[in-house]
Amino acid sequence: MKSGRSLVNLAQELERQLTTKRDLVVPSSLLQCRTDEGGDLKLIIDARQGDGEYGVTELARRQLAEKLKIPFAYFERMRTEQPVLLDRNVNTWLQSDDDRRMIRTLDGQVRAVLSDRYRRLDNFDLAENVLPILQRLEGARFESVELTDTKMYLKVVTPRVEYEIAPGDVVQAGIVISNSEVGCGTLSVQPLVFRLVCRNGLIAPDRALRKTHVGRTLHKDDDPVSVFRDDTLAADDKAFFLKVRDVVEAAVSEATFRQVAQKMQKARDIRLTGDPVKAVEVLANRYTLNESERAGVLRHLIVEGDLSAYGLVNAVTHFSQGVEDYDRATEFEALGGKLIDLPASEWKELAEAA
């Protein structure tokens, strides 16, 4: 499993962000784009009242382009080569759009351009509610926590529940909780299997709890720009966090964990009888791995020498430890979970690839 930051560092960063985060719900007609000759794009919010001028992250640019139905490649080409043309395009469509947008800012940058129905389930509130739940797990180890530009991750393992896949190959039960404040996924709670021998993490998605960031429309009739701050809004998420508690307890229960571990054990009996290179190639094509990722998975499969479905799953999850991007590394841990759930017909295609 890819390592992240310390729990203390995560808490410090979440607290720091509370002081600099700002959310606004604004009619599109009060937004204005301004791009300088160097391609530095600024978003001006409510220019009539001088609310503020913000830089715009790449993700927010993607979201703005998508909402205005401008292909992102063309958006970026205009930004770098024809900034005046970009401003004319963006501002024309903003002025003709009746929708209201939630603009999420951090450190003076627009980090997300979202619908006014976007339901805020923020990382600080989530951590404040679920960390005590996780810390109550017997022998809880925070194996990896991270805060990326798009998501927060909490990955916890407990030695209370474990299973021996093969002599000396022990796995332990865990949980992964992830959330995005910027529209890059739901808040989810998923079982995690941690393999002690190589510190691989596998995310089992079949028993996940998810909560989407969609709620009622946010607006104020007497003010065109609604400003929301985390220290003045108390989210009504008590019922959801009770569900989180229940799902955490279920995910690390003996029954749930044994089901996942036994699937991993059965994968040992599926032999890769074809060409391992072709098997990884089929895998890469099916799950959109790039050339570097495909080569990395193949390298781990050959080095570890286990030419079985279980060996391929472990090659995928072991490779995740060296992936530079934490979000992508977590996707490889989730891919391991998808693989152990493959039906026999799909494993046959991989195992007999030639």
- Which pLDDT score, from 0 to 100, does residue 282 have? 94
User: What residues in the chain have per-residue pLDDT under 50?
Assistant: 216-222, 225, 228-235
Residue 77 falls inside a structural domain: yes
Q: Which residues contact 324 (CB under 8 A, 6 or more apart)?
A: none
Assessment of whether the complete model's pTM goes beyond 0.75:
yes
Residue 239 class from Cβ within 10 Å (0-12 exposed, 13-18 middle, 19+ buried)? exposed
- Which pLDDT score, from 0 to 100, does residue 256 have? 78
DSSP character for 65?
H
Residue 258 falls inside a structural domain: no
Closest CA to 96 of 127, 59, 67, 138: 67
- Which pLDDT score, from 0 to 100, does residue 142 have? 95
* Pairing assessment for the beta strands 100-106 and 22-27 based on DSSP bridges: antiparallel
Of 86, 115, 144, which residue sits at a domain end? 115
Instruction: Tell me how long the chain is.
Output: 354
- Alpha carbons 45 and 225: distance in angstroms, whole number: 9
Residue 160 falls inside a structural domain: no
Residue 192 falls inside a structural domain: no
- Which pLDDT score, from 0 to 100, does residue 144 have? 95
Amino acid identity of residue 75, one-letter, is F
- Which pLDDT score, from 0 to 100, does residue 344 have? 87
Residue 49 falls inside a structural domain: yes
- Residue ranges in 82-173 assigned as alpha helix (H): 83-95, 123-135
| Enclosing H/E stretch for 64 | helix 58-67
Of 65, 94, 115, which residue sits at a domain end? 115
- Alpha carbons 248 and 102: distance in angstroms, whole number: 31
Domain tally for the chain? Answer: 2
- Alpha carbons 354 and 277: distance in angstroms, whole number: 8
Residue 103 falls inside a structural domain: yes
Closest CA to 181 of 246, 234, 110, 84: 110
Residue 245 falls inside a structural domain: no
- Which pLDDT score, from 0 to 100, does residue 114 have? 93
- Which pLDDT score, from 0 to 100, does residue 103 have? 93
- Alpha carbons 332 and 313: distance in angstroms, whole number: 10
Residue 198 falls inside a structural domain: no
Of 72, 99, 115, which residue sits at a domain end? 115
Query: What is the extent of the structural domain holding 46?
Result: 21-115
Q: Which residues contact 127 (CB under 8 A, 6 or more apart)?
A: 10, 11, 14, 152, 154
- Which pLDDT score, from 0 to 100, does residue 238 have? 67
